[in-house]
């Protein structure tokens, strides 16, 4: 328990010292999504058609770009060593502190994007049920994306050019979340229930939450022991 | 005969396909200290990391009696955070820490606690690495170049910590290039020499 709290607290304290980092992810999302209404035909029907896809793709890139080099500094400074030793001493799996790290990263990266999303959605005339579907799908989907990116970052920890590698590894794995997320919003726009797609997305999140911390822990142990 | 804190059985260290040391067989009893010596690249850090359980040995195994502190050459400290927040994170990994205790310790060690770490000197940062040893007792210490960048006062603080650690039945393994300061407790030496060297230190 101490282990989890200490990790969460340190990550939040570090993020507090770098507020520009937090704003950068949200700004990337807002700028990417805002360029489309300006460059497309300014016609409500077109915007409503393209809106879900554009918003989701922009959010996906914003989250993935933020997650390239999570573990490099922690590996260099020996912080990961100390996490592993503390987990060993408490006879806990390393997956537990890693899961905590994912939670912190999700709050810090997906949080600002989620806060900005309703404003950007106005540009695409997303309202009511469609907006609700967008927010719920982003909430679930961003948690999946952060965990996938975390596993990739753990695999690439300590390698040069790891940022690009992470992105390449995660993009194909992230597509199911993208497809399900946009499906939910499209369904809500047409007055159909968004529930089935959101439930599948929630199932995806459950799967990722079980598998990703373990996979990431295996990769990090390898990086620490090298 | 006090119980051994650390037992190595036929342990071999390999890095990048090259054998660094071993097979090593030795036992470190409670109250004793081991000083790793050898040229750069002879595998002192690798040995310490293996003893901590961060690396798997290529052959053989080691048994620890109780938890260990491993303090590496790089310190798990973030430049953006101040000394207090850094220690809170580091020590908080294994047990609840009281801010008042940390503050008292930082004042005693004369480390400014409110300034971000990037404004502190290398020696001041190194002093922070003594905090886990002083504030959270563990029976085995594994220290990689702990005297690096420490001034005379810092060195004597570490010597005093090591004295009381060994007196209370702890054990320690350290590497130190510059030799040990005069006040440091007596150590056995282990030479990690050229690749085909086989070393044993009997008890």
Q: Where are the domains positioned within chain B? A: 1-75+138-203, 77-128
**What pLDDT, on a 0 to 100 scale, did the predictor assign at position A176?**
93
Contact A18 B81 (CB under 8 A): no
Per residue in A20-77, pLDDT (tens digit) is: 888 888 899 999 988 888 888 878 888 888 889 999 999 998 888 887 678 888 888 8
Q: What is the pLDDT of chain A when averaged over all its residues?
A: 88
**What pLDDT, on a 0 to 100 scale, did the predictor assign at position A126?**
85
Answer whether B56's CB lies under 8 Å from A225's CB: yes
**What pLDDT, on a 0 to 100 scale, did the predictor assign at position A224?**
85
For residue A99, give the nearest of A169, A173, A62, A150 by alpha carbon. A150
Per residue in A89-132, pLDDT (tens digit) is: 888 888 998 999 999 999 998 899 999 999 999 888 888 888 99
Domain B1-75+138-203 has CATH 3.40.50.300: yes
Contact A81 B54 (CB under 8 A): yes
Strand partners for B143: B71, B174
**What pLDDT, on a 0 to 100 scale, did the predictor assign at position A104?**
92
Distance of CA B124 to the CA centre of its chain: 17
Instruction: List Cβ neighbours of A1 (8 Å cut-off, separation of 6 or more).
Output: none
**What pLDDT, on a 0 to 100 scale, did the predictor assign at position A44?**
83
**What pLDDT, on a 0 to 100 scale, did the predictor assign at position B1?**
61
pTM listed for this prediction: 0.87
Q: Which of residues 35-64 of B touch A (CB under 8 A)?
A: 49, 52-56
Contact B54 A2 (CB under 8 A): no
**What pLDDT, on a 0 to 100 scale, did the predictor assign at position A194?**
84
Tokens of A191: 């007055």
**What pLDDT, on a 0 to 100 scale, did the predictor assign at position A5?**
87
Answer whether B31's CB lies under 8 Å from B170's CB: yes
Per-run averaged pLDDT (10 residues), chain B, 203 residues:
82 86 87 88 89 89 88 89 90 87 90 88 89 91 89 90 91 86 85 59 41
A93 DSSP 8-state letter: -
10 Å CB burial of residue A173 (0-12, 13-18, 19+) is: middle
């Amino acid at each position: 328990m101490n282990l989890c709290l200490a990790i969460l607290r340190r990550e939040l304290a570090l993020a507090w010292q770098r507020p520009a980092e937090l704003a950068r992810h949200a700004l990337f999302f807002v700028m990417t999504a805002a360029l489309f209404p300006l460059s497309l035909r300014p016609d409500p029907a077109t915007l409503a058609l393209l809106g879900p896809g554009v918003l989701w793709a922009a959010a996906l890139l914003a989250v993935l770009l933020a997650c390239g080099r999570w573990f490099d500094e922690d590996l260099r400074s020996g912080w990961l060593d100390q996490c592993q030793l503390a987990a060993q001493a408490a006879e806990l799996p390393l997956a537990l502190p890693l899961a905590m790290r994912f939670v912190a990263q999700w709050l810090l990266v997906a949080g600002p994007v989620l806060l900005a999303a309703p404003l950007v959605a106005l540009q695409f005339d997303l309202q009511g049920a469609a907006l609700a579907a967008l927010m719920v799908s982003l909430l679930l989907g961003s948690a999946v994306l952060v965990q996938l990116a975390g596993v990739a970052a753990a695999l690439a920890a300590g390698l040069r050019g790891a940022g690009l590698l992470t992105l390449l590894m995660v993009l194909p794995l992230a597509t199911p979340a993208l497809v399900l997320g946009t499906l939910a919003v499209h369904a809500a726009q047409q007055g159909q229930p968004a529930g089935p797609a959101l439930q599948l997305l929630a199932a995806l999140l459950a799967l990722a939450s079980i598998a990703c911390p373990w996979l990431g822990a295996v990769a990090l142990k390898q990086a620490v022991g090298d | 005969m006090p119980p051994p804190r650390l037992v190595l059985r036929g342990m071999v260290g390999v890095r990048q396909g090259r054998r660094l040391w071993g097979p090593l067989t030795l036992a470190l009893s409670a109250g004793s200290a081991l000083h790793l010596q050898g040229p750069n690249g002879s595998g002192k850090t690798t040995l310490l990391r293996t003893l901590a359980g961060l690396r798997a040995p290529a052959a053989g195994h080691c048994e620890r009696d109780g938890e260990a502190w491993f303090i590496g050459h790089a310190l798990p400290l973030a430049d953006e955070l101040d000394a207090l927040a850094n220690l809170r994170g580091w020590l908080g990994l294994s047990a609840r820490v009281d801010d008042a205790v940390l503050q008292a310790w930082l004042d005693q060690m004369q480390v400014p606690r409110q300034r971000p770490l990037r404004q502190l000197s290398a020696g001041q940062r190194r002093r922070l690495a003594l905090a886990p040893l002083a504030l959270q007792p563990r029976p085995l210490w594994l220290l990689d170049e702990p005297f690096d960048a420490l001034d005379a006062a810092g060195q004597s603080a570490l010597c005093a910590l090591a004295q009381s650690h060994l007196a209370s039945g702890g054990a320690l393994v350290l590497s130190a290039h510059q030799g040990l300061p005069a006040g440091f407790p007596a150590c056995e030496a282990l030479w990690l020499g050229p690749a085909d060297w086989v070393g044993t230190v009997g008890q």
